[in-house]
Amino acid sequence: MYDLAWYLTAWAAITVPGVLLSWVWLFPKAGQPWWAALLPFYNVYVLVVGVARLSVLWYVLVWVPVVQVIAAILVNVEVAKRFGRSEAFGLGLALLGFIFYPVLGFGSDEYQAGEGASMGPA
């Protein structure tokens, strides 16, 4: 059990900073403040409501055990769509965010704020 805890801690120490740093660059592309990426819980709210343009209900669902897995995948798919990417890229954001979020954050992808939220009202 000790080994599992160590591996999970090491994994989090590598992946979480990568995603957060990417969000610092991603949020301004979506018209959100960069500093919002650094505030726990609020950063997820900004990602769901401000970037993905989904309702607050989706933010709540991201924190409900079991449901959160599906909700997080669907939120990431919507973030990918907002940047003109495919659903497969959204799945990559959900499963390998430390690889896919830097592509959006540091890449030349532009945010598309128009209509197109397929999973709920903004």
Tokens 């209900």: give the residue.
57
Does 53 map to a domain?
yes
What is the reported pLDDT for 106? 94
What is the reported pLDDT for 115? 60
Number of domains in the chain: 1
Residue 72, domain extent: 2-106
Does 89 map to a domain?
yes
CA distances from 92 to 31, 79, 88, 121 (A): 23, 11, 6, 24
* Distance from C-alpha of 32 to C-alpha of 47, rounded to nearest angstrom: 9
Does 121 map to a domain?
no
What is the reported pLDDT for 2? 72
Convert 64-90 to b/e letters by CB count within 10 Å (16 or more is b): eeeeeeebbbbbbbbbbbbbebeeebb
Does 111 map to a domain?
no
Convert the pLDDT of each residue in 80-92 to its tens digit: 999 999 999 999 9
Select the more confidently predicted residue: 43 or 1. Answer: 43
* Distance from C-alpha of 35 to C-alpha of 18, rounded to nearest angstrom: 15
Residue 29, classed as helix, strand or coil, is helix
What is the reported pLDDT for 38? 96
Does 100 map to a domain?
yes
Does 24 map to a domain?
yes
Backbone angles phi, psi at 58, to 5 degrees: -65, -35
| Tokens of residue 97, six digits | 């965010």
Convert the pLDDT of each residue in 44-97 to its tens digit: 999 999 999 999 999 999 999 999 999 999 999 999 999 999 999 999 999 999
Does 66 map to a domain?
yes
Supply the mean pLDDT for the chain: 91
User: How many Cβ atoms from other residues are within 10 Å of residue 50's Cβ?
Assistant: 17
What is the reported pLDDT for 11? 86
Does 119 map to a domain?
no
